[in-house]
């Protein structure tokens, strides 16, 4: 087991990539804490888990400093250390620079960027106290390339990549590795939301992927989870400041 004896905190753990990664970490022996805003989704993640590890749910909003402090402290007090942090929580709302409202801009930046900042702010000192750890930030291929009608999301995911590089430099001397993953078309609820949730969203997305992705398909959430697992494990002990792109070849075109 690659994470036996390790502890891991995952934000946005109620569904999608967060849920898949929490389950994978549990199978690999980790003691996992999942943070999210929706209690029912967190409960489902816990109930569906298998493996020798364990998962504990913590309801909270990553853009709320008091929630972040509470969850980080509760998880740390329960396990006595935090070895791995996966800053996964994120939202998408459509809009150009003209049509995006201030509420959408602030909400996107609050969760996608401020959330990474806040959780890292309170986890890093605890990691350093126990000799280091691994932080993985969930960016996106849209932090690398542009796409129309999603200016706030594009901006937020580009910011996550730059936060990752800054943190990698700032905390290398504390033996804290910081990397990002940049997923492309993944089978989660975000891509249908991107399209406005039409009834045939999955069929449309599969056709888009077949037309534009060299591997001609969308990825399963757990395929991103395996990339996160690699970066979290000792297999990646000399990897920091990197962006691991998981896009089926999209950004090579």
Count CB neighbours of 52 within 10 A. 12
Is 153 a residue of the active site? yes
φ/ψ (deg, to 5) at 120: -65, -40
Residues shown for the chain: 253
Measured CA to CA in angstroms, residue 149 lies from 94, 104, 187 at distances of 6, 13, 20
Number of separate helices (H) and strands (E) present in the chain = 9, 7
User: By C-alpha distance, which of 34, 82, 76 is closest to 54?
Assistant: 34
For 127, which DSSP code? H
- Active-site position among 153, 185, 230, 238: 153
Catalytic residues: 153
């Amino acid at each position: 087991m690659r994470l036996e004896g390790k502890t891991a905190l995952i934000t946005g753990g109620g569904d999608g990539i967060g849920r898949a990664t929490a389950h994978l970490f549990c199978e690999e022996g980790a003691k996992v804490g999942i943070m999210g805003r929706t209690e029912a989704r967190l409960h489902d993640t816990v109930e569906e888990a298998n493996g020798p590890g364990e998962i504990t749910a913590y309801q909270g909003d990553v853009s709320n400093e008091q929630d972040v402090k509470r969850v980080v402290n509760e998880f740390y007090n329960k396990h006595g250390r935090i070895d791995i942090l996966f800053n996964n929580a994120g939202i998408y709302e459509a809009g150009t620079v003209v049509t995006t409202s201030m509420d959408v801009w602030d909400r996107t930046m609050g969760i996608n960027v401020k959330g990474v900042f806040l959780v890292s702010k309170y986890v890093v000192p605890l990691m350093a106290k126990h000799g280091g750890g691994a932080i993985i930030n969930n960016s996106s291929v849209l932090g690398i390339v542009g796409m129309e009608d999603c200016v706030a999301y594009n901006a937020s995911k580009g910011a996550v990549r730059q936060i990752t590089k800054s943190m990698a430099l700032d905390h290398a001397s504390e033996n804290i590795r910081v990397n990002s993953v940049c997923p492309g078309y993944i089978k989660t609820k975000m891509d249908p939301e991107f399209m406005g949730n039409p009834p045939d969203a999955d069929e449309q997305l599969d056709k888009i992927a077949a037309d534009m992705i060299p591997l001609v398909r969308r990825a399963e959430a757990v395929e991103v989870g395996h990339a996160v697992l690699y970066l979290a494990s000792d297999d990646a002990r000399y990897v920091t400041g990197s962006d691991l792109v998981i896009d089926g070849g999209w950004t090579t075109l």
